[in-house]
Structures are given as C-alpha cells and as structure tokens.
C-alpha cells in the first residue's frame, strides 16, 4: 500500500531516540494505554519488547490522576 493512502495514526509516539552506525534504539509510548516499549534495529534485524519496572511490572506512564 502506498504511504499516501495510509491513514495517519498517532497511537505511538517516539519519546526517546538513540542511533549509531547501523543501530537504532527507540522508546515508544502507546498514547492510549501509556505502555512503553523498547524498539531496537540492528542492521537488517529488529525487535520490540515492553519496558518493565524494577519489580517486573509493565512500565506505564502515570498521570496526575493516577493513584500511587
């Protein structure tokens, strides 16, 4: 499908980027759930995984309305 025909989707935002020679690290945030993911691209390979906190729970963005 041509890029011009694709519908714009702002669900995921890149909140951190780091890149070097053939390697890229991005932290993505799902704007609907607050869940954060690490995306790594290295040469022709790539992978994505959810970020976890120190207790092994998903790293989810907290808002002022969330309880601690």
Mean pLDDT of 38-63: 92
The residues, ordered by sequence, that sit 6+ positions from 17 with a Cβ below 8 Å of its Cβ are 24, 25, 26
- pTM of structure: 0.73
**Domain residue ranges in the chain:** 7-50
Whole-number Å distance between alpha carbons of 62 and 25: 23
Whole-number Å distance between alpha carbons of 9 and 56: 29
Q: What local confidence, expressed as pLDDT, does residue 37 receive?
A: 97
> Which tops the pLDDT comparison, 16 or 64?
16
């Amino acid at each position: 499908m041509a890029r011009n025909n694709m519908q714009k989707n702002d669900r995921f935002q890149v909140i951190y980027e780091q890149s070097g020679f053939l390697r890229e690290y991005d932290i993505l945030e799902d704007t609907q759930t607050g869940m954060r993911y690490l995306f790594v691209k290295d040469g022709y390979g790539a992978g994505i995984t959810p970020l976890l906190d120190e207790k092994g729970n998903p790293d989810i963005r907290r808002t002022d309305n969330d309880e601690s």
